Amino acid sequence: MGVFSEGSHEQIVFCQDRASGLKAIIGIYSTALGPALGGTRFYPYASEEEALHDVLELSRGMAYKNALAGLDLGGGKAVIWGDPEQIKSEQLLRAYGRFVQSLNGRYYTACDVGTYTWDMDFVARETRFVTGRSVEHGGAGDSSILTAWGVFQGMRAAAEHRWGTPSLSGRRVGISGLGKVGKYLTGHLIEDGAEVVASDVSPKALQWAAKTYPQVSLVPDNAALITSDIDIYAPCALGFALNDETVPALKAQVIAGAANNQLAHPGVEKLLMDRGILYAPDYCVNSGGVIQVADEIEGFNFDRAKLRATKIYDTTKRILELADAEGISPATAADRLAEQRMSEVGRLRTIRL
């Protein structure tokens, strides 16, 4: 995807502070509905091109996610290029905050892969346009909590669409990734009576699962997971989990997970339809986290945010019903609903006040 390709991003900002080692890219896809909101991913990309590609894809996804979630916020994202275990520091995070502040409210940042609430506390020392801070500093805290809750609601809606009941009791769910979101999702599933199978590349995550939920079956890798006899597959790690190799191997009938950008390329959604696999679009079911941090902008109230995240169940049902009615994929149905809201509500900004 080129920066200046048709219908693409409003603004891309490259940020560098040599003293702290900061190399960051902020992508603003759309401000049609309001200031762009999206997290900061801190990751050791193989190249600058890979970092740019990720921020372009993720910021576009945030615009659609925020629109579908009913938020008056546009879509943006940021990436910090580097290994957070090696270079993350107060100096770097505050330098990054200065760059966010320079955009004067066009972009609100928050947590993502490699960043946490305490990191946002440092960023907030230099900018007003940050959310997802710690509870101690008046923030919404860990957004993984409502991300997992929303995925659980989307999964329930998909189960009802496929099997006629939203209960996951007796269903075998495969979770790929037991990180921030996966661990909370595991708890919701076990409480609902589901049988959980899981994989993770981190030995620490596997040790946590074995100790906390000994009833969870652990498999060595994602390849083993997708070929397991599971009813539902929940990708909860990095993107592009659904591709030309994994889709033919899947045994699950339903896909609903927290990872962003699960479809590796256009056309994967057709592969899923051809195999009769029901896909709950990722940016719909994983929007609980952005709902949580967006609520912080108003003055955070957990009960209000959780109620909004619970409505992911209704939104997922609406998408799946539209897909059936129109004979289109759920991914296409979700895009249509998001684009419709960006167009119809965004148009109101042309009315002069």
Q: Is 65 a catalytic residue?
A: no
Quickly count: other Cβ atoms within 10 Å of residue 187's Cβ: 14
**Annotated catalytic residue within 23, 77, 88, 317:** 77
Strand partners, 74: 36
Distances in Å between the alpha carbon of 228 and those of 15, 80, 163, 224, 249? 44, 36, 20, 6, 9
Main-chain phi, psi angles of 245, to 5 degrees: -95, -40
Binding-site residue positions for NAD(+): 177-182
Q: Report the distance separating Cα 75 and Cα 63, nearest Å.
A: 3
Is the C-alpha dihedral spanning 31, 36, 38, 42 positive or negative? Answer: positive
- 7, burial (CB in 10 Å: exposed 0-12, middle 13-18, buried 19+): exposed
Find out whether 143 and 289 touch, Cβ atoms under 8 Å: yes
Instruction: Compute CA distances 308 → 288, 291, 312, whole Å.
Output: 8, 7, 8
Residues labelled catalytic: 77
